[in-house]
Amino acid sequence: MKLLDEDRLLPTEERPRRLARALYEQVRDLPIISPHGHTDPRWYAEDAAFPDPAQLIVTPDHYVFRMLVSQGISMTDLGVPRADGGPVETDGRKIWKLFAQNYHLFRGTPSRLWLDHSFQEVFGIDRRLNAETADWYYDHIADCLSKPEYRPRALFKRFNIEAIATTEAATDDLRWHKMIRDSGWDGRVVTAYRPDNVVDPEMAGFAENIMLMGEQTGFDTATWGGYLDAHRARRAFFKEYGATSSDHGHASARTENLPQDEAAALFQKALRGACTPAEADAFRGQMLTEMARMSIEDGLVLQIHPGSRRNHSGEVMAKFGRDKGFDIPGRTDYVTALKPMLDAVGMRPDLTVILFTLDETSYSRELAPLAGAYPSLRIGPAWWFYDSPEGMRRYREAVTETAGFYNTVGFNDDTRAFCSIPARHDVARRVDCAYLANLVASGSLAEDEAGELAHDLAYGLAKSAYRL
Amino acid sequence: MKLLDEDRLLPTEERPRRLARALYEQVRDLPIISPHGHTDPRWYAEDAAFPDPAQLIVTPDHYVFRMLVSQGISMTDLGVPRADGGPVETDGRKIWKLFAQNYHLFRGTPSRLWLDHSFQEVFGIDRRLNAETADWYYDHIADCLSKPEYRPRALFKRFNIEAIATTEAATDDLRWHKMIRDSGWDGRVVTAYRPDNVVDPEMAGFAENIMLMGEQTGFDTATWGGYLDAHRARRAFFKEYGATSSDHGHASARTENLPQDEAAALFQKALRGACTPAEADAFRGQMLTEMARMSIEDGLVLQIHPGSRRNHSGEVMAKFGRDKGFDIPGRTDYVTALKPMLDAVGMRPDLTVILFTLDETSYSRELAPLAGAYPSLRIGPAWWFYDSPEGMRRYREAVTETAGFYNTVGFNDDTRAFCSIPARHDVARRVDCAYLANLVASGSLAEDEAGELAHDLAYGLAKSAYRL
Amino acid sequence: MKLLDEDRLLPTEERPRRLARALYEQVRDLPIISPHGHTDPRWYAEDAAFPDPAQLIVTPDHYVFRMLVSQGISMTDLGVPRADGGPVETDGRKIWKLFAQNYHLFRGTPSRLWLDHSFQEVFGIDRRLNAETADWYYDHIADCLSKPEYRPRALFKRFNIEAIATTEAATDDLRWHKMIRDSGWDGRVVTAYRPDNVVDPEMAGFAENIMLMGEQTGFDTATWGGYLDAHRARRAFFKEYGATSSDHGHASARTENLPQDEAAALFQKALRGACTPAEADAFRGQMLTEMARMSIEDGLVLQIHPGSRRNHSGEVMAKFGRDKGFDIPGRTDYVTALKPMLDAVGMRPDLTVILFTLDETSYSRELAPLAGAYPSLRIGPAWWFYDSPEGMRRYREAVTETAGFYNTVGFNDDTRAFCSIPARHDVARRVDCAYLANLVASGSLAEDEAGELAHDLAYGLAKSAYRL
């Protein structure tokens, strides 16, 4: 028995399916460009064996455990570490069984597609996960993980990853990236510059982080000018480790373009911890425009990921901390929010700003009209909750007619779950080929054009947009 | 001639249609669970014959008459009662003819599906309604209604209703429910606790209703504590008549979790009629959290139905009163609005809160992420304007990938139109089977899983979510 | 080689395609009713040859040049005139080549469909546009344009246009419409009353325009009463030139229904240039209600087109002026915004107000419920960024179930691009026939009803809604 249908996610009608299959055959084995993600660089640096199946697949992946939690299973029973270091389940087999017994909850979700893909393609499994097969699964995967061919670098090669970006805080020492480089291994793992902890006055440790940036760079970060220079220096340092992009996860897409003396005064207030929430928001907005200006100088691609109301549950945040599946999207405005930055630098063809969204209503109403006009703007792929077959289909249908294909940037997996990387890219390639095949079948696109586009969407656009 | 296509609403492609038909065959005859609706308990209590066809099908159903009104037909010509008791059309045949002449207006709407289903399946009609057949229709339906097998209880059995909930105000004496119980009839008709008239300071009669609650329960409802106790007592009274849920139709989803002394002070202000609109809104929000706490105590399922701007037309409200098809949806936020309640009780697995929406943009952006994380939350079905084939399809496509199937609760018909109940459940079963069949056909779900899900969506989930 | 697939945009499945093709065959050759657009009446008046291919197809069409600009091509290289009259590219062949080299950018967009339709059906071209064919294309089209059968009036007849509306400012002298009428030509070109420049206090020249209106009409437009009378007179003047509608492109759908003395005071403030932004907005809102009242008097259909944030790029506005592809949609509320006008006149069956939107979320949430209840309201077609196959499909799917077909008004091309008119109507007819065919195939509509509807959507509804 196969866990996966060979033609999954392709159109179900005969002619479009045939067209889609032909397109997919051309792109299924292309190398993976993964320009935005959250895998741990330490994996590639140390190349140690992954721990047990539950620690690999269940406990660290908030896509997986939040669904179990949503049906009343406790995080402690799933081994999710507590903020206070208190006891949680550590028996991998027990966690795995709980997961297996509830595997039906994932029916119809992309997690199910990714998991089954990992099970079949990475671990060679041919039976469905459930209460009965839980132990067999656990033993089988544990056995695999003990073998050298399941070490991170071996999987990296087997997954055919041409380049992968991790994401590090602006003050990170990039030690794992250094270790990778020093090791002489030829896998291309690059970093990305994520300065949230030094541009958001409301983040714990803001002032301390900025002082650290001063020490790291030799600039006087107690001054606005020195602070900006320190950013420049850190960006250059990140570029040494392959960075081609910066990444900004603010709650909104707000930008500002204040006179420099006002920006400097706001910075001083932020350093003193004296900003009102509105001023903190203005400062974050100002920094997006400053980052865009630096991008014109140094060529880093600017990624803006707004819209998540982080750590929505006060109880979960207090007990388990950040990134526990309780980041909930909200309405996000781009048109008013981005205007200050766009008026400053939006018409520059030498700048690339990639916009992501968790508010699908913005695709056709805001993002496609903006990216279909401003030369600096591109639209990021269907992301996070929309990294899914329907999410991707709606994305293409909403975006293409106004912005075309060439104002999009290919696929990002954005994942912490290493084994899901090939699965996620495979889903994206299938869904894009299905979309293109339907355009051909309905007489809206020629077959030769669809072939070119399939290649661009699977590989070329990510590579060129991210300058990888 | 058949009014209904045997395979209506199933996929049109051959293989998915075959799959969908097989799924549908398994669920088409399952009993109906109708856990949320507005049929009149008096019907089941008295079991009197329904009045004439127009009084049964046109005049009381705002889905039907608002469409006629939207094309310039006056409410008085349709027999809709005036608020001032002034004259309106009373000749059922004249009203019916007006309806029949304009039956083309319903093309493409779910009302058309429901009406044709009633005509064919309930009344055995085999010709299309139009100006020519109007009289024949009127005579035929009137003739049926005079027969015992068209009395409410007989239809209840014929419709294969296992359980139906009506909705009563908190201060209702539940006389009809008592009469049903006393009659010894075995049809399961339960009530639901709808306290809008005692939790909304802006409702006419708010203070009087609260005094009445005091009389009904023996608690001193002039105090905050006595008021809450009176709610507890009324909820217990409703539970005696089968209630398993409460129902809350506020304009927004706002919740609050004020300190009890502040809540008590706000209650006093509300009782005095001294609340500002903002304070009234805060009080309603506080009461949702109080109701959630009581739900943990007594097990009632909490239903939140926000988003309708009720009685939008001042003119219609003045001339004809409430519920005349002029309740218009608006944008509705859940993420910020529900946070106070969720911080208080959202992680409780022994609480069930069912969220409905009239703002489809919230499905994938807010409701699915929330219900896909919080154990207390479930997503209600596509509702009201979205109780329709496309509405249901969009619902499944937007919700499933993030929240799965098991954070949804099956179908609610929410109707005042008795004869439309089997039609509405049939539409939901068909659309869900079509959705599942398409997942199978595209390799995203196994056939055995689809079979289990079809049963759960048609029957099991409504029963378990509503504890019926 | 054909540029166009004979069955483009029809369903790809065999049975629905056959049904759709049969419907389309019935409507493909119906005359074009174009009740809302921006073609230049001077064309029909003077009937001069169109200039070179770039001046006809690239430079004046912001749908076309904004896509090129979005990928880094400069407006000056595309010959877009500068606001300061400075030098831009004037060599049509060079502009055309730049367009041809980048023609792949339009893949998947409606512009591509319209352009290929013009190339094949208007100019008889049988090869694809690209860098290699650029010169051939240029020469071929230039050659056509020199022939009498490519003059505006000849194309008007060839396009089978039964009636077309242009749009003129309230103070326009309608000289070209007069010239058309005086010429005795029988083509039906009517105007539409667009009073933005005399109802928006924030428009440059507001007071001067109102003084001009006074001169044109003989009313004392320095008074509120005289100003309203001047509107009445101008509307009557526009009606002499065939106008059946007025058109209002405010940023929001806000309406007001102020007491007349307050409105008069606000008008005085507006005339003095003393309105705050909030007061200016209130004045615009008041004028929508005044226009609706005048519509009841004189029968003009009122069109409301809100939602565009005009001239979003400060840089583009400064260098190139208005209407350069940088009008970006934003969220638009109708439910609260329209209530004052609807409370005043919304229940009038002798008033027709057509609502357009650039915010698709309003289709099912607001516009369909409103138009499905108020007799005065109709929903305009999928418009601007949604004048596209997917946009039209989403429109029908979102609107029909609540508002039916008869609260919609057929198709508007809204275009400045003359040669795209038949293409746009053809796309709309195909997409509507596809939608109807899918309803028939899924058992939701009878074939005879679909046939009637296909005719109504392609021709009848536009004619009756716009009283043409």
A-chain residue closest to B366, CA distance: A329
Residue B376 lies in a domain: yes
In this complex, the residue of A7, A72, A106 whose CB is nearest that of residue B349 is A72
Mutate to test the interface with B, among A102, A328, A333 (most CBs of B within 10 A): A328
Whether C416 and C444 share a structural domain: yes
Q: To which residue do tokens 């080299």 refer?
A: C101
CB B107 to CB C453 under 8 A? Answer: yes
- Is the pLDDT score of A321 beyond 90? yes
- Is the pLDDT score of B86 beyond 90? yes
| Angle (CA) A277 A283 A286, round 5° | 145
| Pairing of β C308-309 and β C328-329 | antiparallel
Residue C204 lies in a domain: yes
Q: In Å, how far is A183's CA from the nearest CA of chain B?
A: 40
Q: How far apart are CA B134 and CA B120, in angstroms?
A: 15
Nearest CA among A64, A48, A29 for reference residue A417:
A64
Whether C207 and C223 share a structural domain: yes
C-chain residue closest to B104, CA distance: C449
Whether A260 and A373 share a structural domain: yes
DSSP SS3 for C338:
coil
Whether B81 and B213 share a structural domain: no
Contact indicator for C78, C70 with CB cutoff of 8 Å: no
Whether B186 and B84 share a structural domain: no
Supply the pLDDT for residue A76.
97
pLDDT in tens, C261-316: 999 999 999 999 999 999 999 999 999 999 999 999 999 999 999 999 999 999 99
CB A8 to CB B441 under 8 A? Answer: no
| Angle (CA) A341 A347 A349, round 5° | 120
In this complex, the residue of A347, A398, A401 whose CB is nearest that of residue C315 is A347
Mutate to test the interface with B, among C359, C365, C445 (most CBs of B within 10 A): C365
Residue A6 lies in a domain: no
Whether A111 and A87 share a structural domain: yes
- Residue B102 corresponds to which tokens in the numbers above? 């304009």
Whether C118 and C259 share a structural domain: no
Residue C4 lies in a domain: no
Q: In Å, how far is A307's CA from the nearest CA of chain C?
A: 16
- Residue B430 has, within 13 A of its CA and on its CB side, a CA count of 23
Residue B231 lies in a domain: yes
Contact indicator for C255, C288 with CB cutoff of 8 Å: yes
Q: How far apart are CA C395 and CA C387, in angstroms?
A: 10
Supply the pLDDT for residue B397.
98
Nearest CA among C7, C61, C82, C170 for reference residue C413:
C61
- Is the pLDDT score of A355 beyond 80? yes
In this complex, the residue of B15, B339, B406 whose CB is nearest that of residue A71 is B406
> Is the pLDDT higher at A1 or at B141?
B141
- Banded pLDDT at A82 (limits 50, 70, 90): very high
Whether A251 and A131 share a structural domain: no
Q: How far apart are CA B301 and CA B243, in angstroms?
A: 9
The one-letter amino acid code at B275 reads C
From chain C, pick out residues whose CB is under 8 angstroms from the CB of B108: 400-401, 404-405, 439, 444-445, 453
C204-209 long-range contacts (CB < 8 A, ≥24 apart) are C206/C270, C206/C271, C206/C273, C207/C271, C207/C272, C207/C273, C209/C169, C209/C170, C209/C171
Number of domains in chain A: 2
Cα dihedral sign for A334, A336, A341, A342? positive
- Is the pLDDT score of B344 beyond 90? yes
Buried b (16+ CB within 10 A) or exposed e, B78-88: bbbbeeeeeeb
Residue C361 lies in a domain: yes
Whether B63 and B194 share a structural domain: no
Contact indicator for A382, A359 with CB cutoff of 8 Å: no
Last residue of a domain, one of B149, B184, B211: B149
- In whole numbers, what is the pLDDT of chain C averaged over residues? 97
CATH classification at residue B122: 1.10.2020.10
- In whole numbers, what is the pLDDT of chain B averaged over residues? 97
Maximum distance among all Cα pairs of chain A, rounded to whole angstroms:
68
pLDDT in tens, B429-438: 999 999 999 9
Whether C358 and C261 share a structural domain: yes
Nearest CA among A63, A28, A32, A31 for reference residue A384:
A63
Strand order in the sheet with B161-165: B32-34, B161-165, B189-190
Q: In Å, how far is A369's CA from the nearest CA of chain C?
A: 6
In this complex, the residue of A370, A404, A441 whose CB is nearest that of residue C12 is A441
CA distances from A400 to A175, A363, C107 (A): 41, 10, 8
Last residue of a domain, one of B114, B129, B149: B149
| Pairing of β A301-304 and β A245-248 | parallel
pLDDT in tens, C320-357: 998 899 999 999 999 999 999 999 999 999 999 999 99
DSSP sequence for C255-279: -----HHHHHHHHHHHHTT---HHH
Whether A55 and A113 share a structural domain: yes
Contact indicator for A95, A78 with CB cutoff of 8 Å: yes
Q: Which domain holds residue B104?
A: 51-149
- Residue B442 corresponds to which tokens in the numbers above? 């595209």
C-chain residue closest to A437, CA distance: C12
Contact indicator for C294, C231 with CB cutoff of 8 Å: yes
Q: In Å, how far is A453's CA from the nearest CA of chain C?
A: 9
Residue C1 lies in a domain: no
Q: In Å, how far is C314's CA from the nearest CA of chain A?
A: 6
| Mean local confidence (pLDDT), A205-232 | 98
Q: How far apart are CA A331 and CA A62, in angstroms?
A: 22
Last residue of a domain, one of C148, C165, C188: C148
pLDDT in tens, C233-268: 999 999 999 999 999 999 999 999 999 999 999 999
In this complex, the residue of A8, A385, A386 whose CB is nearest that of residue B442 is A8
- Is the pLDDT score of B1 beyond 90? no
Residue C344 lies in a domain: yes
DSSP sequence for B94-161: HHHHHHHHTGGGGTTSHHHHHHHHIIIIIT---S--STTTHHHHHHHHHHHHTSGGGSHHHHHHHTTE
Contact indicator for B329, C363 with CB cutoff of 8 Å: no
In this complex, the residue of A342, A373, A443 whose CB is nearest that of residue C70 is A373
| H helix or E strand, kind and range, residue A3 | none
Supply the pLDDT for residue A1.
77
B-chain residue closest to C17, CA distance: B12
Chains that touch C (3 or more CB pairs under 8 A): A, B
Q: How far apart are CA A43 and CA A80, in angstroms?
A: 20
Whether B355 and B403 share a structural domain: yes
B-chain residue closest to A8, CA distance: B443
CATH classification at residue A258: 3.20.20.140
Q: How far apart are CA B250 and CA B256, in angstroms?
A: 13
- Residue A374 corresponds to which tokens in the numbers above? 């401003």
From chain C, pick out residues whose CB is under 8 angstroms from the CB of B314: 339, 343
Q: In Å, how far is B361's CA from the nearest CA of chain C?
A: 7
CB C444 to CB B390 under 8 A? Answer: no
CB B70 to CB C402 under 8 A? Answer: no
Supply the pLDDT for residue A138.
98
